[in-house]
Amino acid sequence: ILNVEQSPQSLHVQEGDSTNFTCSFPSSNFYALHWYRWETAKSPEALFVMTLNGDEKKKGRISATLNTKEGYSYLYIKGSQPEDSATYLCAFEKNAGNNRKLIWGLGTSLAVNP
């Protein structure tokens, strides 16, 4: 059984705060680690797909790092804004040839208070 765990489960921050959350995943048979953003009443949207150990990706105020040897990824949000309020999901993709399935975490729910 492959487990993808995210922490914390939920987070409340003030506008302007910087924050980060963790995704842990199996370190064996690694292929890729995905981050998605899911706003209430919408569908998940991809943020990053990361494949290499030490990878660091950035999109605006959001960035992510990847450590495949120890099996974790961090997502950082700098200067949180109310529009950043969403659930942030990570998903592990194992090296399984043509079977491109994702194993999803339960997400970190972020609320940014104005």
Partner 1 sequence: NAGVTQTPKFRVLKTGQSMTLLCAQDMNHEYMYWYRQDPGMGLRLIHYSVGEGTTAKGEVPDGYNVSRLKKQNFLLGLESAAPSQTSVYFCASSSSVNNEQFFGPGTRLTVL
Nearer to partner 1, 15 or 39 (CB): 39
Considering only the stretches 16-24, 43-51, 61-69, 74-82, report the one whose residues sit in contact with partner 1 under the rule CB under 8 A: 43-51
- Please count the residues of the chain: 114
Nearer to partner 1, 17 or 38 (CB): 38
- The label of the residue with tokens 């980060």 reads 20
Residue 67 and residue 69: Cα distance in Å, rounded?
6
Min dist. Cβ of residue 79 to partner 1 (A): 26
**The pair of three-digit structure tokens given for residue 94, joined into one six-digit string:** 């194992």
Q: Do residues 76 and 17 make contact, with C-beta atoms less than 8 angstroms apart?
A: no
Binding site for partner 1 (CB under 8 A): 32, 34, 36, 42-46, 49, 51, 89, 93, 98-102, 104-107
